[in-house]
Amino acid sequence: MTTHSGPLDLTARLADADPEIAALVEAEGRRQFEKIRLIPSENYVSRAVLEATGTVLTNKYSEGYARKRYYEGQQFIDEVEELAVARAKALFGVEHVNVQPYSGSPANLAIYLAFLQPGDTFLSLELPHGGHLTHGSPVSATGTWFRPVHYGVDKETGRIDMDQVRDIARRERPKLIFCGGTAIPRLIDFPAFAEIAQEVGALLVADIAHIAGLVAGGAHPSPVGYAPVISTTTHKTLRGPRGAMLMTDAEHAKAIDKAVFPGLQGGPHNHTTAAIAVALREAATEEFRRYAHQIVANAAALAEALLERGFDLVSGGTDNHLILIDLTNKDIGGKPAAKALDRAGLEVNFNTVPFDPRKPWSPSGIRIGTPAVTTRGMTTEHMPRIAAWIDEAVEAARKDDGEALDRIAAEVREFTKDFPIPGWPTP
């Protein structure tokens, strides 16, 4: 992945026009460079993706779809969107793609609008067990307008209990079943979900927002052929801009397109569409395939190093990019641990764990992952060192030892100097 070591020309004009915002952008760039970023939903995009998001395409309004717009002057915009669609279809092997959703949550809302009526029943993974807010949380519109029922993970294994999924599906007869989520450290059994959905006459939807890059790179099984509707963001492991896509078979294409526009959105963000196209081109390369497999290898090595230091990992480890840690045995909550780790230069997020006795705003766990550190060139040999810093920082947090946290942060800053990031000058 190419990097940039020259002046900050991406923000050179911004510094003249708005020095306050320019200073904040520069500070954020420095923060991203100096820290080890372990939040599994974050990454570093390429210089090309960064540049695409800052083009004159942002000036154009384009309600509708390619060759069927409500505004004139779409000659080149249509080609941009068609290119993004064609690349996504080829990369994932699907019949239809909509690249217009603004982000993952609106993409999922479009699925409900397309295939459910208010009050209809759907089945999804429970939020504290790794599901997503838009999979029926009571604080989400999806939990207000529809009737969610949930499956969970086994208390002993930490893995999705497919027998439970089948039993609930048979009892509740949902119209739609979601598989996938936001804190699942293990492979998703798409064939098993498809079998259950077929048995009860439900539409299977795969939410692969977290694992799309792994799927594209051949490091995780694909839901294509099992789930007629697939939702994904375009950032995270796919390493594109902040956007989303909906992929379907031909049968469900029209309903999805109608739900996105005019159902939920106006004109798409054309600069984002272009950046998605760039990211999809990158994801079709052999270099990206190696990257996807390295993400998984790094996560496995990091999980093993954490286990050796006595950390309790949900499900005992990971098959993908993500590790969910229950800190109960470390005698500290997830939130104070995450705050301390951030001070120590290790960026994570506090997270609920299955059967968590604590409240969501102060849960028992933290969630970490390896997409961003892998983009920077870190490999399995570096994971034990990161695990050691995590262990030291958690212990320092428990003892309220700020000096130790600051010492770790200094060590991390020195370490990250050897791992450049796109769009930021290397010292």
**Structural domain ending residue among the three candidates 258, 283, 308:** 283
d(CA 257, CA 263): 9
* CB of 45 closer than 8 Å to CB of 241: yes
Q: Which of 89, 242, 309, 385 is catalytic?
A: 242
Q: Are 265 and 332 members of one domain?
A: no
Q: Are 94 and 236 members of one domain?
A: yes
Q: Are 297 and 276 members of one domain?
A: no
Q: Are 310 and 355 members of one domain?
A: yes
CATH code, domain with 198: 3.40.640.10
Given this model, what pLDDT does residue 4 score? 42
Q: Is the peptide bond before 262 cis (omega within 30 degrees of 0)?
A: yes
Q: Which of 3, 42, 60, 61 is catalytic?
A: 61
Q: Are 74 and 173 members of one domain?
A: yes
d(CA 279, CA 273): 10
Q: Are 332 and 359 members of one domain?
A: yes
Q: Are 63 and 110 members of one domain?
A: yes
Q: Residue 421: inside a domain, yes or no?
A: no
d(CA 290, CA 310): 30
d(CA 341, CA 345): 6
User: How many domains does the chain fold into?
Assistant: 2
Q: Residue 25: inside a domain, yes or no?
A: no
Q: Are 245 and 132 members of one domain?
A: yes
| Length reported for the chain | 427
Given this model, what pLDDT does residue 9 score? 56
* CB of 322 closer than 8 Å to CB of 185: yes
- Cα angle at 28 between 26 and 30, to 5 degrees? 70
Q: Are 62 and 204 members of one domain?
A: yes
**Structural domain ending residue among the three candidates 231, 265, 283:** 283
Paired tokens of 22: 């320019």
321 among the known binding-site residues?
no
Q: Which of 134, 233, 273, 374 is catalytic?
A: 233
Domain range for residue 230?
A: 56-283
Q: Helices marked H in 2-138 — which ranges?
A: 12-17, 19-34, 47-53, 75-92, 104-115
**Residue 207: active-site member:** yes
**Residue 102: active-site member:** no
| pLDDT, one tens digit for every residue, the chain (427 residues) | 544 433 345 567 888 899 999 999 999 999 999 999 999 999 999 999 999 999 999 999 999 999 999 999 999 999 999 999 999 999 999 999 999 999 999 999 999 999 999 999 999 999 999 999 999 999 999 999 999 999 999 999 999 999 999 999 999 999 999 999 999 999 999 999 999 999 999 999 999 999 999 999 999 999 999 999 999 999 999 999 999 999 999 999 999 999 999 999 999 999 999 999 999 999 999 999 999 999 999 999 999 999 999 999 999 999 999 999 999 999 999 999 999 999 999 999 999 999 999 998 999 999 999 999 999 999 999 999 999 999 999 999 999 999 999 999 999 999 999 999 998 887 7
Q: Are 268 and 308 members of one domain?
A: no
CATH code, domain with 317: 3.90.1150.10
Given this model, what pLDDT does residue 11 score? 66
**Residue 68: active-site member:** no
Given this model, what pLDDT does residue 6 score? 37
Q: Which of 207, 282, 326, 356 is catalytic?
A: 207
Q: Are 96 and 228 members of one domain?
A: yes
Q: Are 261 and 364 members of one domain?
A: no
